[in-house]
Structure 1
Amino acid sequence: MSELLQTLRPGTPVMVADPITFRDYKLLLRSEHFIKPAHFHKFWKLTRHTAKAVGVDISKIGKPLETHLREVLFFDTPKFRLYNHGFILRRRMFYKKGLPQSNHELTLKFRHPDRHTAAAVDVRPLLPCTHTIKFKEETLMEREKLGSMRTIYSHGCDLDTPNVILTQNFESITQVFPALLQTGAKAKTLLSIVNGVAIEEILANCGEIDFGNKVTAKATLAIWRNRMTQEHLVGEYAYQIKFSSLNGFHGKPRELSEAFFMRLQEDAQDWLHIGTTKTAMVYGLGRTPVTNTE
């Protein structure tokens, strides 16, 4: 199954390892370059120019560059026990016409550069509930090196509109996600919003990239700002390829997807933000030591 949508009983053993069913390509961008709608269009044209140069096509899907507003919050202990052990606990709220919607998404991820280490962590919730497991291969740029690629693996679980209060103690969240017990945090340690920063996310639809042989990727452009101060934080251009098996993603489509990623780094170098991930940037805004070097 490409997405494992399951309802499990407590304690049900996972007999089959989750397969990798996504490859995400991600490039960090300087968010201050995206102030006006015209700036989004300028970058859209740049990506189409790059696509043409490497022999792929980007087509419009839905309303081109249609934007969506979302709020993103990360939760952790005061000493960042979760993130420093490779875990990310995130809540995403959705807005429509400026108004918050009743549904929200709670996500637990474990990220690691080693595929087998990421696969070994069972991110499923303890109690029976509908959840979605996503195991992704994420392709990023090498730190401060244009025209490069590196890989980290993300093993995640999404819960839709969970009835969970995240500012309670650590013990409460481990009753939802027992995998977090691996962090060794004390039961009564309180969780809070990472560095007190609520993130305003502007997500734009950047079309669909066709790599041939029916392999396509949905492209998006996300801009993150501090919701309270409106300070620009970071942007990200990403495209995601979904498949039934990583072994089935090979040949010309894979070569073209990588060629586009490499060439775009060169063509868009004035737009690039040199860093690692959006999450890493948010964690780095405060003074708490961060040992996670994703």
Structure 2
Amino acid sequence: MQDVHYREYKILLRPEQFYAPKRFEDYWSELKTIAKKMGVGVTTNDNAFFRQVREVLFYDTPDFELYKNSFILRKRTFYDNGWPRPEHELAVKFRSPDKERAAAMDMAPRMVGAVEVKFKEEILPLKDKIGEMRSLYSHNCIVISPNVILSQGVKDIASVFPAMASVDSDGDSQIDLVNNMAVEEIQVDPGHFDFGHGFEAKATIAIWRNRASENSLVGEFAFQAKFHHYDDIHAKAKKLSEDFFCAAQTLAPEWVQLGTTKTAMVYGFGDRKVEHNE
């Protein structure tokens, strides 16, 4: 079993709040006020509101067998000055509220190249109430490759990512774009927070839009800390980070979107309701 090396705190944001580019700065200003009120250190980056553009695509079987079995298959393309980079980011994730189940999943792929495996704890608000928190554990494999083809069957995908062999499927189901939706992600990296005792976290603010309709889907505020051992996090720093996370909801409720995750939003835009434990 792997130890958690990342703790990422995520809050969904109302898409209607992002009606102009300046709204990234407006929200960051509110967050800085809340942080100072809570005794959290804040640093704003140079070029904090440079807007990065990415295309995000999710793939699954027609019956969403991957997602129903807690897997996420995502391709992300980064753009520089309006042009896509030649290499893509392929992410395979297994997410569960059960830490031991998520940690025990072997996410290593059968391939060579730039591969990174991460095990993180995601801190999320409750699905129907602001001001509180819950944990979801995410075991991720990130692959950087110029050749990403996602039109095969589950059997072909599982030959590269053996963890997916556990999916309840005949193996012949084809992989296709979820709900035929391409997402445009606009993200800024405004700064970072200091919770004391060496516990710091980088912040991001993002908005997701449907590329076809140009409608905004959902926003997200997140901050992530990286560490060598979970037990090394100082109790006071951990408590302060959690208090700030809850305060960011209760002290700026007009920004908060109740729900689960950005991925769940994309899956939920189809004709069928998808049951999942996110």
Is the 1:79–1:289 contact (alpha carbons within 8 Å) kept by the matching residues of 2? Answer: no
CA distance in 2, matches of 1:107, 1:217: 22
- Name structure 2 gaps, 5 residues minimum: none
2:88 alignment counterpart:
104
| Alpha-carbon spacing, 1:92–1:83, altered in 2? closer, same or farther (3 Å) | same
1-side partners of 2:162 and 2:147: how far apart? 17
2:69 pairs with one of 75, 85, 106: 85
Residue 58 (structure 1) aligned with residue 42 (structure 2): yes
Q: Which amino acid aligns with 2:74?
A: R
Mapping 1:153-168, distance limit 5 Å: 153-161=137-145, 163-168=147-152
TM-score (norm 1): 0.92
**Aligned equivalent of 1:274, options 246, 251, 258:** 258
Whole-Å separation in 2 of the counterparts to 1:176 and 1:76: 15
How far does residue 147 in structure 1 lie from its aligned partner after superposition?
A: 1.2
Distance 1:93 1:236 in 2: 19
TM-score by length of 2: 0.97
Answer yes or no: is 1:181 the counterpart of 2:165.
Answer: yes
Give the C-alpha shift of residue 182 in structure 1: 0.8
Secondary structure at 2:89 match in 1:
strand
Take 1:34 and 1:252, find their aligned partners in 2: how far apart are those partners? 34
Distance in 2 between residues matched to 1:139 and 1:252, nearest whole Å: 17
Aligned to 2:216: 232
Match of 1:4 in 2: none
Q: CA RMSD in A?
A: 1.1
* In 2: Cα distance, 1:96 partner to 1:128 partner: 26
CA contact (8 A) 2:97 2:277 kept: no
**Structure 1 unaligned regions, length at least 5:** 1-16
The answer (yes or no) to whether the contact 1:111–1:118 under 8 Å persists in 2 is yes
1:192, distance to aligned residue in structure 2 (A): 0.4
- Which residue pairs with 1:73 in the alignment? 57
1:256 to 240, 255, 261: 240
Q: Distance in 2 between matches of 1:252 and 1:66?
A: 33
Cα distance between partner residues in 1 of 2:49 and 2:239: 27
Q: Is the 8 A contact 2:86 2:146 kept in 1?
A: no
User: In the aligned structure 1, how far is the partner of 2:57 from the partner of 2:170?
Assistant: 22
1:14 is aligned to none
* Identical amino acids, percent of aligned pairs: 45
Distance in 2, matches of 1:57 and 1:42, equals: 18
Matched with 1:5 is none
Query: Residue 218 in 1 paired to residue 215 in 2?
Result: no
Aligned partner of 1:35 in structure 2 is 19
SS in 2 for 1:229: coil
CA distance in 2, matches of 1:43, 1:106: 30
1:175-231 alpha-carbon deviations (Å, 9 max, x no partner): 111111111222221110100000000011121111112221100001000011101
Alignment of 1:4-15 (within 5 A): none
Task: Give yes or no for the alignment of 1:284 onto 2:268.
Answer: yes
SS in 1 for 2:205: strand
**Aligned-partner residue type, residue 152 of structure 2:** Q
Alpha-carbon distance in 2 for matches of 1:148, 1:41: 25
Aligned partner of 2:175: which letter? L
